[in-house]
Chains A and B, each alone.
Chain A
């Protein structure tokens, strides 16, 4: 509402400004019909608008002026100078009121009645004070906190900046090709930062509060529920979330449709609700929130939910699916039929939502702007619909991949996971199709080359490819989750990079392929096609029958024995050795120029984007070229670890053979028949942070065996503090004994100086509970180092 009032005020102010000329002209020539009409239109418009906003003073004034001007127009009164002055006084007062409303100040003059009386010609107008009027005009200008811009201009600015981003990218590429010149590079960095800032600013100017979309909802909901005889409570949340105004326009219709549907088909009649044991008043919640660079808009109702079986029956009778397909549909696939063209769940088409615009159109509209629609329904409990849209239309994060030697982009929002073929995923030929098994999940595999009908590039997919037919030549698998559809795997030859791409719509002749969402330019200035994940699924014929019930059963079965597995990044160290590091510790992988690496302040360090990180993994600063590093993080600090190349990402149950002494390597494990050294991140962070205390006489810590958490996570931590770890309960004298708070430990069994009890729940179990929560890092470290110091002082 506030926004609408602001619009109205701004509009009125603009009209007043435009009118000032006409007012002066009319004053000097009261018989001028054109001027009269102009002024009449103004007061008429103001009257109409403020009636809508409940602004009684403005309405009274404009109404009175309109009446008088109408009389003049019809010839009942003549425009003598007294009348002109009276009208002008009213218009000035309107201007003052508008200004007062805009600045939120109270308006001193309250003599509206006097002005109105002057209009009727009965009383004389109070003497005008021109100085004050001029002052007021100046105030108006000062009070302006916004300007009105045409949307076209904003769009032009936006596309100009988009072009600037592309030009910058191209310049960056050309700069990489030529000899380094620090001055040029510094200038380029500055330009680059400026462009980024301008882009952000312009993006923000296009932002609008989603309130402008939500304000219309209460009225709509009220009208609809009254019409349908339903009772409804509406809750709106997150109106202050901002998104691209173009995006707001694009989701207006889909959102309206979803809400209409919810009220019409979802919420039951009061008596039906009472019978079902629910509150007679239905509940509808519309909320918006920002998550990363996406906006989530949720519509939740507590109605009857969607009848999946009815959907299937309808789809069958409409010929959308074949009977044999219907039998194999998963629960989510049945629900996804809501989005199938030509399907409506309601028994009959109603005036409210059955106007031939179906959920298929809703989904298509949302997807057109790079968004997703998810639906979840529980019979008798309601439906939750979630729209996810990007913040802006123009710049989207994407992953670049290649197939047939050509580069394509995939919107990152649809990507679930990136894997390596052969090791990360098992692939089987099932008839003419390929099924990928990823950690027990079976998903259909689509080879991008096949889908595009292009020849695979010759040398791609070398080492991991096993001599299988179609999927073998593609070395990487990307798990995609298209809107409303099930996950599928896309095989590509290579995965390149994450990029922020300026996406432009593709020409119709290109869109007709049904595979693309738009076009963009890569850093090297070549055009790239942006792939459309759900379009690819459709073209590959994965509409509905990809995941049979047996696959899901298998999924559950296999994932049952999953929890002990750790996901490891396998890589080759600079010395050629095979190493691994837990994936969660890896922030990202980066190439750094060797110039950024220096031996400074006693350590190897690498300068990276304004930070200096300690560098581990290499003994000396490497010579020429680039060094590939892992950026490891413990949540607070980062360190860099140099390596040669990524080998794989694997989920494995690790049986670690610990190193004899704590160090960079925690131990060695057998993965796929090869010895792989596991990095000890705790040690790395400890060693690269403050220098650790000398540990010539290592204190001993007894650790229970068989607990994977203690073995894999606690042990490295303990060792990093300089303890020698021995198995508990084997009679070795220990300075500190680790025990689980849940285990009863007979006091007699304690042969240690100190016992550290660790509980798996954050809360204390009672007053005498002196245990430490297992992820209370500070608490653990404190207790452990206390123990270590004690041991040292004893020894």
Chain B
């Protein structure tokens, strides 16, 4: 079941899970073109073959500051609202299959995370936060709107 395939990434020092069905691929970005005056969580633009990806800084999307960008940066490609995005993460760890559906988050999981949390999943004995990549991409500004 594709729904139960999860991509485990490291983001803001935590291991989090993303639904693999939402992820088009994992890329290494070579150079990011800045986008002055764009939303704060946009790190810039990057080219993937002939496509222009909007690079989202995962750290900034959580309002935890900005990721340092130098040299190659690891990112996952997500299509959201018809636009291709590259979501910067600290590391891509693994793809795992789980056989139990995600359970809702109880209570708060902390500033920043609350907005993007889609639930909790148990992966190989440890409990991970399931993050909705579209909410990450929408960024902190979307909530005000």
A505 at interface (Cβ–Cβ under 8 A)? yes
In the bound complex, residues from chain A placing their C-beta under 8 Å from that of B49 are 163, 167
Closest A residue to B35 using CB positions: A510
A430 at interface (Cβ–Cβ under 8 A)? no
CA distance A441 to B92 in the complex (A): 57
CA distance A404 to B36 in the complex (A): 10
A344 at interface (Cβ–Cβ under 8 A)? no
In the bound complex, residues from chain B placing their C-beta under 8 Å from that of A167 are 49-50
Report yes or no: A509 in contact with B54, Cβ–Cβ below 8 A: yes
CA distance A509 to B84 in the complex (A): 12
- Cβ contacts B18-56/A at 8 Å (1 or 0 each): 000000000000010111111101100111011110101
In the bound complex, residues from chain A placing their C-beta under 8 Å from that of B110 are none
CA distance A162 to B42 in the complex (A): 25
In the bound complex, residues from chain A placing their C-beta under 8 Å from that of B41 are 509
Contact of A509 among B42, B50, B51, B52 (CB under 8 A): B42
List A residues 532-582 near B (Cβ within 8 Å). Answer: 539
CA distance A526 to B48 in the complex (A): 9
Report yes or no: A525 in contact with B47, Cβ–Cβ below 8 A: yes
B85 to chain A, nearest CB (A): 7
* Chain A interface residues toward B at CB < 8 A: 162-163, 166-167, 170, 404, 406, 452-454, 504-510, 512-516, 519-521, 525-529, 539
Top 10 A-B pairs ranked by shortest CB distance?
A452-B36, A527-B45, A513-B37, A166-B50, A509-B39, A507-B54, A163-B50, A507-B83, A510-B38, A519-B52
* Chain B interface residues toward A at CB < 8 A: 31, 33-39, 41-42, 45-47, 49-52, 54, 56, 81, 83, 85, 137, 139, 141
Report yes or no: B139 in contact with A527, Cβ–Cβ below 8 A: no
B107 to chain A, nearest CB (A): 30
Q: Known pairs A167-B50, A512-B141, A528-B33. 16 more at Cβ < 8 A? A: A166-B50, A167-B49, A452-B37, A505-B83, A506-B54, A507-B83, A507-B85, A509-B39, A509-B41, A509-B42, A509-B137, A513-B38, A521-B52, A527-B46, A527-B47, A527-B52
Report yes or no: B141 in contact with A529, Cβ–Cβ below 8 A: no
Closest B residue to A503 using CB positions: B52
A474 to chain B, nearest CB (A): 15
CA distance A516 to B137 in the complex (A): 19
CA distance A509 to B85 in the complex (A): 11
Report yes or no: A529 in contact with B50, Cβ–Cβ below 8 A: no
Report yes or no: A510 in contact with B54, Cβ–Cβ below 8 A: yes
Contact of B36 among A166, A454, A505, A512 (CB under 8 A): A454
In the bound complex, residues from chain A placing their C-beta under 8 Å from that of B139 are 509
In the bound complex, residues from chain A placing their C-beta under 8 Å from that of B85 are 507
Report yes or no: B52 in contact with A520, Cβ–Cβ below 8 A: yes
B124 to chain A, nearest CB (A): 34
A713 to chain B, nearest CB (A): 48
CA distance A514 to B36 in the complex (A): 11
CA distance A526 to B30 in the complex (A): 10
Report yes or no: A526 in contact with B47, Cβ–Cβ below 8 A: yes
In the bound complex, residues from chain A placing their C-beta under 8 Å from that of B45 are 510, 519, 527, 529
Closest A residue to B82 using CB positions: A505
Known: A527-B52, A528-B33. Is A509-B38 also a contact (CB below 8 A)?
A: yes
Contact of B33 among A453, A513, A527 (CB under 8 A): A527
In the bound complex, residues from chain B placing their C-beta under 8 Å from that of A539 are 37
Contact of A513 among B35, B47, B50, B81 (CB under 8 A): B35
Report yes or no: B33 in contact with A510, Cβ–Cβ below 8 A: no
CA distance A525 to B49 in the complex (A): 8
CA distance A452 to B34 in the complex (A): 11
In the bound complex, residues from chain B placing their C-beta under 8 Å from that of A526 are 31, 33, 47
B57 to chain A, nearest CB (A): 11
In the bound complex, residues from chain A placing their C-beta under 8 Å from that of B38 are 509-510, 512-513, 516
Interface Cβ pair total, 8 Å cutoff: 78
Could you give 23 example pairs across A and B, Cβ below 8 Å?
A162-B50, A163-B49, A163-B50, A406-B36, A454-B34, A506-B54, A506-B83, A507-B83, A508-B81, A508-B83, A509-B54, A509-B139, A509-B141, A510-B35, A510-B42, A512-B39, A513-B37, A513-B38, A513-B39, A515-B36, A515-B37, A527-B33, A539-B37
Report yes or no: B36 in contact with A510, Cβ–Cβ below 8 A: no
Closest A residue to B31 using CB positions: A526
A238 to chain B, nearest CB (A): 34
CA distance A519 to B83 in the complex (A): 11
Report yes or no: B37 in contact with A504, Cβ–Cβ below 8 A: no
In the bound complex, residues from chain B placing their C-beta under 8 Å from that of A504 are 52
In the bound complex, residues from chain B placing their C-beta under 8 Å from that of A529 are 33, 35, 45
In the bound complex, residues from chain A placing their C-beta under 8 Å from that of B37 are 452-453, 513-515, 539
Most buried by A among B45, B50, B56: B50
CA distance A222 to B37 in the complex (A): 49
In the bound complex, residues from chain B placing their C-beta under 8 Å from that of A514 are 37
A491 to chain B, nearest CB (A): 15
In the bound complex, residues from chain A placing their C-beta under 8 Å from that of B54 are 506-507, 509-510
A401 to chain B, nearest CB (A): 14
CA distance A507 to B37 in the complex (A): 13
In the bound complex, residues from chain A placing their C-beta under 8 Å from that of B137 are 509
In the bound complex, residues from chain B placing their C-beta under 8 Å from that of A166 are 50
In the bound complex, residues from chain A placing their C-beta under 8 Å from that of B34 are 406, 454
CA distance A725 to B42 in the complex (A): 68
In the bound complex, residues from chain B placing their C-beta under 8 Å from that of A519 are 45, 52
CA distance A507 to B52 in the complex (A): 10
Closest B residue to A508 using CB positions: B81
Closest A residue to B44 using CB positions: A527
Closest A residue to B84 using CB positions: A507
In the bound complex, residues from chain B placing their C-beta under 8 Å from that of A528 are 33
Known: A505-B83, A509-B38, A509-B41. Is A406-B33 also a contact (CB below 8 A)?
A: yes
Closest B residue to A511 using CB positions: B38
Most buried by A among B36, B56, B81, B83: B36
In the bound complex, residues from chain A placing their C-beta under 8 Å from that of B141 are 509, 512
CA distance A514 to B35 in the complex (A): 12
In the bound complex, residues from chain B placing their C-beta under 8 Å from that of A170 are 50
CA distance A555 to B89 in the complex (A): 56
CA distance A506 to B82 in the complex (A): 10
CA distance A583 to B55 in the complex (A): 44
CA distance A640 to B35 in the complex (A): 40
Closest B residue to A505 using CB positions: B83
Closest A residue to B36 using CB positions: A452
B24 to chain A, nearest CB (A): 15
CA distance A404 to B47 in the complex (A): 20
Most buried by A among B37, B83, B137: B37
Report yes or no: B35 in contact with A453, Cβ–Cβ below 8 A: no
CA distance A197 to B51 in the complex (A): 22
In the bound complex, residues from chain B placing their C-beta under 8 Å from that of A507 are 42, 54, 81, 83, 85
In the bound complex, residues from chain B placing their C-beta under 8 Å from that of A162 are 50
B46 to chain A, nearest CB (A): 7
Report yes or no: B36 in contact with A513, Cβ–Cβ below 8 A: yes
A519 to chain B, nearest CB (A): 4
In the bound complex, residues from chain A placing their C-beta under 8 Å from that of B50 are 162-163, 166-167, 170, 521
In the bound complex, residues from chain A placing their C-beta under 8 Å from that of B35 are 510, 513, 516, 529
CA distance A627 to B114 in the complex (A): 61
CA distance A452 to B85 in the complex (A): 22
In the bound complex, residues from chain B placing their C-beta under 8 Å from that of A512 are 38-39, 141
